[in-house]
A and B are shown apart, each in its own frame.
Chain A
Amino acid sequence: MLKNILKNKLGTSLIEIMFAVSIFVILIGLTLGIFKSTIESQKNAIAAQNIQENLRFLFEIISKEIRGAKIMDSACDGFFTISSDKKIYYVNGGVLYFKNKDDECVAYYVDGNDDFVIERDNGIGALPITPNDIKVTDLDFFARDNDIGVLPDAKIQPRVTIKIEVEANNSGAYKQHTIMQTTVSSRRYE
């Protein structure tokens, strides 16, 4: 067999090679295009999944701690120089302060100097509760609470509305911008 092939003195013409190469290039080009868009969209899907997982976790732990918060009774006044008094929740400039069920004064805020992660500060130190690969572009709190001072006769049950806007950090054009909001009503009746 080898002999037969070697005996054959005819080569392939330039036209034939050009034709074969161009068909090859077109086919490869099409395949690569599909391959590329598959990878891109996979990136997009991963970004979305990442954001969803983290948001679910975030809302879970923040709402749990907010529900159990206690009346501050001025115990947190030295904490971040806030005047808390009879309030359960205190919101100032995008930061939420309250005293949790273990009498710990805590604050939740976005740290603009550290990749826009949400941090929880308990007065001893601040620890991030969102990862670096999601960027929290906006964190807003709205607290409806009793006024500072002695508890009025017409008390109200405090509640907090949380709104978070996030996008993915490391997935190029795929930001997966998501805006989530929920409200949590205090479970402490006093």
Chain B
Amino acid sequence: MNMFKINSKGFSIVEASVVMGVVSIGVLGVFSLVLQNIQVQKVNRNMLVASMLAQEGLELVRNIRDDNWIASPAVNWDMDIAGWNNNNFTIDYTMAMADVDDTNVAENIVEEAGANLYFVNGGNFYTHSAAGNAATSYSRLITVDGIDASSIADGAVDYYKVKSHVQWKEKAVLKDYIAETHLYNWR
């Protein structure tokens, strides 16, 4: 009980700074957690947009096959798709298909000018046509791969593996969203 009287020393500066250090590390931890939360939300948002764009790519190729099915006079079910077999191309809501220069498409789609998506000025749909339009951060590339699934290979394509690859840059880091579907000649 005499402690208060006897001990007349305060905290030393070393003790005080250790306490401050511990407290600020704790606060910084919480703060960085919140910051990270925001980052993740942003990535999620872009991921959601990209997933819809990837799905659009698949639906557009599917639409080509479906068009062939109901066309009259009848045409091959894979008309317009067969020509792109084992190749990369772009397609947008206007249905204009285009080739891209194949130099760095394997992993770096955003560097392919033809694969970038744009907004028509005045705020319309995502499109590949660059003329006078505002660039978005997304790029999309479609790859079709014809597969001969017959037990005895007959050289004829039984289905197409269609891959829709959307890529964008998130603070200089490349992000990808890849969707894939198989298109057969039966409904």
Interface residues of A (CB under 8 A from B): 1, 4-5, 31, 34, 37-38, 41-42, 44-45, 48-49, 51-52, 55-56, 59, 138, 140, 142, 144, 153-157, 159, 161, 163, 165, 176, 178-186, 189-190
Q: How far in angstroms is the closest Cβ of chain A from B143?
A: 18
Interface residues of B (CB under 8 A from A): 1-2, 4-5, 27, 30-31, 34-35, 37-38, 41-42, 44-45, 48-49, 52-53, 55-56, 59-60, 62-63, 66-67, 69-73, 93, 95, 119, 123-126, 187
Contacts of A5 in B (CB 8 A): 4
Q: How far in angstroms is the closest Cβ of chain A from B5?
A: 6
Q: A4-B5, A189-B70 are in contact. Are A45 and B55 (CB under 8 A)?
A: no
Report which of A38, A48, A163, A186 forms a contact with B41, defined as CB distance below 8 A: A48
CB of A159 within 8 A of CB of B59, answer yes
Residue of B nearest to A159 (CB): B63
CB of B70 within 8 A of CB of A179, answer no
CB of A44 within 8 A of CB of B187, answer no
CB of A161 within 8 A of CB of B56, answer yes
CB of B45 within 8 A of CB of A178, answer yes
CB of A163 within 8 A of CB of B125, answer yes
Q: How far is it, in angstroms, between the C-alpha of A61 and the C-alpha of B122 when the chains are bound?
A: 28
CB of A55 within 8 A of CB of B48, answer yes
User: Could you give 6 example pairs across A and B, Cβ below 8 Å?
Assistant: A1-B4, A4-B5, A42-B37, A48-B44, A153-B72, A176-B45
Q: How far in angstroms is the closest Cβ of chain B from A75?
A: 21
